[in-house]
Amino acid sequence: MGEHTDGGQDLIGREDLVEEIASVLSGSQYLGAILVGEAGVGKTALARTVARELDGSVAVLPISASPSLRKVPFGALSPYLHSLSINDVGSSVAVYRSIMAHLESSSNGQKKKMPLFLVDDSHELDDNTSVLLSQLIAGRRARVLALARTAPNPSSEFGSLHQDGLLRRYHVRPLGAPEVHELCRRELGGDVLSSVSATLAQTSGGNPMFLLALLRQGKRSGYLGVRNKVWRLVGPAPPLDVSLVDLIKVRFRRRTPEELSVLETLALAEPMPLDALVHCTDRPAVTALQEDGLIAVEGGRDRLVTLSHPLYGEVIRQDVPAGRSLAIRRKVLEVLDHDSSTADGFLRFVAWGLDCGLPPDDKTLLRAAVVANRLHDAEFALRAARAVHEPKLRGNALVEIARAQTTRGNLPYARQIVDEVLDQCESFTLAKEASLLSVALRVRGSNAAERIREDVARWKRITDRIASEMEPPDDPQVAIGLGVSANGHRILESFALNYEGRFQESEKILREVLADPYCSDEVRLAALSLLGEALGSMGKAVEGTQATGEALQIIAAHGHKFVGHSEFVITRHFVSMAHAGLWDEIEELLDTLVRSKASGPSSFTGITELSEGLIALRKGLMGSARTALILGVEGLRESDSNQLMPMALGLAAFACTMVGDTTRAKVYATEFEAGASIGTRQAQLLGKVHVVAANALFQGAARSIEELHVLAKQAATDGMTVLAAVAYELAGRLGDERCFEPLARLTESFEGPEGAVMTAMAKAAVQKDPNALIDAAELAQSSGYLLVAAECLGKAVRYLSQRGEEHKSRTVQQKLNTIIGQLEGLQSPQFEAVRSTSKLTQRELDIARLAGQGYSNRDIAEAQGVSVRTVEGHLYRIFAKLGITSRDELPGADPASIG
């Protein structure tokens, strides 16, 4: 029973399976179950949990099979054969009688259900034991829970019982991404960046035993580090731990030399087309390994073959001698098409050529550097680019070197290279690539918009010079080069305008670019992304989401050609959807494009958590928002190519304030002020309005409200209408009533659910109409805006009470109490105006307890030292606050339910 046991804690992601298996073992339809899965997937832990679930209702008899005992008849049953003499050990009849005696004694005279054999590694049982156990099971003398590897299959006897319908078979699969993340949190004892758990999920293949080994080794080696109570990856991954290597090597024992040759070839070459693998190795060996689940063959034209687990290749490569490795690579190079359908396959082809002294041509090397940079593999990009020697390609190679140095954080060196390339540039394409990289470096500093315009001016000078020097001047290629470059200039000008929050000006330019005949696919995806950002920021979020969604489709249609633009596009797509309030669509995108992929050092780190935190914050799920935004801030410290940190810090400060975490709120607010000049103007102002709202706890609501009005008017004047609406909304949350009229005007033309919710709330608040507020609350609740719904109902309760409509007020109060209970961890005094309608004073709490325990008004008056009339008045207010009509509904001595 040596597989993953999960530390004896409850299993993660297996709850439904445990319940189902326990039900099968307790029912009458089946006589047992077989759990099948790869080593370490958690079969043993699952079986032990099922045994605990049965809670002593059956006697559990563990049996542990092993390769060594397989050679001994009935060897696995030895713990239950103590009464046998040496002469009887080989007798099937004697063994049967001994086991039957043990089964009868295990019941201890009690009327229990049939005993349960818990058989670990049942595929290692000797034939005699398999036959005996199957006879006991078929004769209804016992049940069985058998554990077996995927390959080899369970014993033929158990297989027959399954085919006869007597045993239920379950395939225990690896953990999915959410379960891996939760297991990482449990093992590390703290919050974990999603990029960390995604990387570990890919490396471990979701195998719990492998994952736990990687986590423990990561902590020991320093590969996993913690900062501000958040775990992250630090530096390169260490070599696999010896114990983990030994666990994996067990899978390859007893393989033939031909099969080992296939495994070695795949370890060096995966993914590899099936035809190429068979040509280099042995077809029967390939078939055998596929049947045993050690290799996997995909569908598709190439039928790519890989090892069935990500760690297998690393373990196998360690044992391949250098000479044999070189021989295998040379052999594969002879049959492998360098135009591989996968980026990994293409890069491996180039790497082998360099390793074997047979480098490809310079154009292929340059393409390899480009692909490696798109995949954030800076080390190989440098290796390939530095191997380019052709003078005409040297400038392009230098750009890829600068890009790789940017990924590695060597920004001054990258800047030096880029400037050198642009000074000597003789190509339209090279001028574009170098200028775009220069802009990527600009946004990491201050005065980014001004410096971007300097880059645009330089790019224009370069294109004009190149065109003037080309012969003949009327060459169509010159016109194309100038046309594409001109659109690139306008894209960067729009980028600078968006950076400054001048979205109306940017929209005009971008629409002209999209209508231009020289609008290439790359220019189009950039234009659509920036247009979506602009439209979303001006209240046209649905149209903006359509634009950014089209940009994502362009990326998907071109394979890995434009994958380097993914983060730029996806970030703007998230923001557009958030402005629209399309929460379900954001969750779907996170699952399909981000959470499902292992993240490299700069691939979506922090963006996932920031998006989740923003969703939770808008919904009013404050505890979840705080957790996600803290993780988002830490993730953006690793990589923030879109300069989202100012926004993240502001949102985190506000979320911390709303749950009473004043210490972190102050830290984030201080850090925001220290870096307020970095990032886009919209990100700066969005962070600012949330910091101002958070500071209301420290400087008073009145001052924060006035600051928010100033920021809102400034944003509205500059065309950032969504940002202005957020500022007015936060002012209203602090108790300001003046904000609702301008908020209603701004949001009336907004697209999407969020605009409709804000408009309904603001108009009802202006009218002070309780019925309209109730309707607005229902709309907000159905759209997922619980905090807004609570605010609307709180106002409705107050206005109804002022009108003397106490019965309706109590009914609305009941709805409000329900919603308040869903606002996770909300503790902020800023929300006191809403919460106070249902919060009892200490005197009211004491009276409610006594009344709930059956004391009369006179008894309560004597106990509290007040008059009966005073008690009656308190009870009236208690009933109104709690939305109840009789003493029977009082929560009595349960203060948690009335506080």
Note the pLDDT tens digit of each residue in 187-201.
999 899 888 888 899
The amino acid sitting at 543 is E
Question: Cis peptide before 472, with omega less than 30 degrees from 0?
Answer: yes
The amino acid sitting at 117 is F
Flag whether pLDDT at 256 surpasses 70: yes
Range among 350-359, 473-482, 574-583, 823-832 with highest mean pLDDT value:
574-583
What tens digit of pLDDT does each residue of 139-159 get?
Answer: 888 899 999 887 666 677 888
Q: Is 357 left (phi over 0), alpha (psi -120 to 50) or beta?
A: left
Confidence of residue 186 (pLDDT cuts 50, 70, 90): very high
**pLDDT at site 108:** 57
**pLDDT at site 720:** 92
The 8-class DSSP code of residue 155 comes to: P
Mean pLDDT of 247-255: 84
**pLDDT at site 554:** 94
Mean pLDDT of 74-80: 82
Flag whether pLDDT at 377 surpasses 80: yes
Which tokens go with 90?
């080989």
**689 compared with 882, residue with greater pLDDT:** 689
Flag whether pLDDT at 68 surpasses 90: no
Give me the DSSP letters along 257-306: HHHHHHHHHHHHH-SEEHHHHHHHS-HHHHHHHHHTTSEEE--TTTTEEE
Flag whether pLDDT at 840 surpasses 70: no
Strand order in the sheet with 60-64: 60-64, 116-120, 143-148, 32-36, 168-171
Q: What is the mean pLDDT of the chain?
A: 86
CB 148, CB 35: distance < 8 Å: yes
Flag whether pLDDT at 1 surpasses 50: no
Mean pLDDT of 404-421: 93
What tens digit of pLDDT does each residue of 195-223 get?
Answer: 888 889 988 989 999 999 999 999 988 89
What tens digit of pLDDT does each residue of 583-602 get?
Answer: 888 888 877 765 555 434 44
**pLDDT at site 110:** 52
- CATH code for the structural domain at 842-897: 1.10.10.10
Report pTM. Answer: 0.80
CATH superfamily of 443-450+463-580: Tetratricopeptide repeat domain (1.25.40.10)
What tens digit of pLDDT does each residue of 602-627 get?
Answer: 456 788 899 889 999 988 888 899 99
What tens digit of pLDDT does each residue of 721-737 get?
Answer: 999 999 999 999 988 89
CA dist 840 and 843 (Å) reads: 8
Mean pLDDT of 121-139: 87
Give me the DSSP letters along 816-882: HHHHHTTSTT---GGGHHHHTTTPPPHHHHHHHHHHHTT--HHHHHHHHTS-HHHHHHHHHHHHHHH
CA dist 797 and 838 (Å) reads: 10
Confidence of residue 287 (pLDDT cuts 50, 70, 90): very high
Confidence of residue 778 (pLDDT cuts 50, 70, 90): very high
Flag whether pLDDT at 821 surpasses 60: yes
**pLDDT at site 602:** 44
**pLDDT at site 880:** 66
**pLDDT at site 112:** 57
Candidates 3.40.50.300, 3.40.50.1860, 3.30.1490.20, 3.40.50.970; CATH matching 6-171: 3.40.50.300
Confidence of residue 892 (pLDDT cuts 50, 70, 90): very low
CB 206, CB 40: distance < 8 Å: no
- Among the listed ranges 271-280, 456-465, 706-715, which one has the minimum average pLDDT value? 271-280
**pLDDT at site 841:** 66
Mean pLDDT of 340-359: 78
Percent share of the chain, pLDDT over 90:
41
CA dist 275 and 587 (Å) reads: 40
What tens digit of pLDDT does each residue of 448-467 get?
Answer: 899 999 999 999 999 999 88
Beta bridge partners of 169: 34
Mean pLDDT of 104-130: 77
**pLDDT at site 250:** 81
Flag whether pLDDT at 532 surpasses 50: yes
- Among the listed ranges 72-81, 263-272, 732-741, 857-866, which one has the minimum average pLDDT value? 72-81
**pLDDT at site 775:** 96
**pLDDT at site 360:** 86
Confidence of residue 5 (pLDDT cuts 50, 70, 90): very low
**pLDDT at site 788:** 94
Confidence of residue 842 (pLDDT cuts 50, 70, 90): low
How far is residue 125 from each of residues 64, 68, 73, 148, 246, measured CA to CA in Å? 9, 10, 9, 10, 22
**270 compared with 110, residue with greater pLDDT:** 270
**pLDDT at site 561:** 81
CA dist 486 and 489 (Å) reads: 5
Confidence of residue 268 (pLDDT cuts 50, 70, 90): confident
Confidence of residue 81 (pLDDT cuts 50, 70, 90): confident
- Among the listed ranges 152-161, 646-655, 692-701, 751-760, which one has the minimum average pLDDT value? 152-161
**pLDDT at site 246:** 86
Helices and strands: H and E segment counts in the chain: 43, 11
Query: Which residue ranges make up each domain of the chain?
Result: 6-171, 177-238, 443-450+463-580, 842-897
**54 compared with 886, residue with greater pLDDT:** 54
